[in-house]
């Protein structure tokens, strides 16, 4: 079950903030966030596990609301280097021991301009 990301695209000026949302219709075990620059492979940002935790590093953080099966990625004081496509990947709860079915959303294209 593919998670739904919103918005599909966003344009920011340097220094502005953005929020990217990821939602699922299934109970989630974990949410992964990755960033992909054009022509490159996706790069890991963070994992959030069932439990409603919030994580972050530098000016990028994320939250996981397990009641709503939603995760949000927060980018504050955006920099030009933040440009890229952001993907959330979700693992469904209860899909079995050893299950690791990480399904990605269609991505959110973020463009940061000077």
Which residues of the chain form contacts with another protein (CB under 8 A)? 2, 29-30, 32, 34, 40-44, 47, 49, 87, 89, 91, 97-107
Tokens of 64: 């996981």
Query: In this complex, which beta carbon is closest to another protein, that of residue 74 or of residue 104?
Result: 104
Distances (CA, A) of 9 to 19, 27, 62: 11, 26, 18
Residues 72 and 62: their CA atoms lie apart, in Å, by 5
Q: Quote the least distance from Cβ 41 to another protein, whole Å.
A: 4
Query: In this complex, which beta carbon is closest to another protein, that of residue 10 or of residue 48?
Result: 48
Query: In this complex, which beta carbon is closest to another protein, that of residue 94 or of residue 114?
Result: 94
Tokens of 16: 């502005």
Q: Quote the least distance from Cβ 44 to another protein, whole Å.
A: 4
Residues 45 and 84: their CA atoms lie apart, in Å, by 13
Q: Quote the least distance from Cβ 114 to another protein, whole Å.
A: 27
């Amino acid at each position: 079950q593919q998670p739904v990301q919103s918005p599909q695209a966003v344009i920011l000026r340097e220094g502005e903030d953005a929020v990217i949302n990821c939602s699922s219709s299934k109970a989630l075990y974990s949410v992964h966030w990755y960033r992909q620059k054009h022509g490159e492979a996706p790069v890991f940002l963070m994992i959030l596990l069932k439990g409603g935790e919030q994580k972050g590093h530098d000016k990028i953080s994320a939250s996981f609301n397990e009641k709503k099966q939603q995760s949000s990625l927060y980018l504050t004081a955006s920099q030009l280097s933040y440009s890229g496509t952001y993907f959330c990947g979700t693992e469904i709860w209860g899909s079995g021991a050893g299950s690791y079915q990480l399904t990605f959303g269609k991505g959110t294209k973020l463009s940061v301009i000077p």
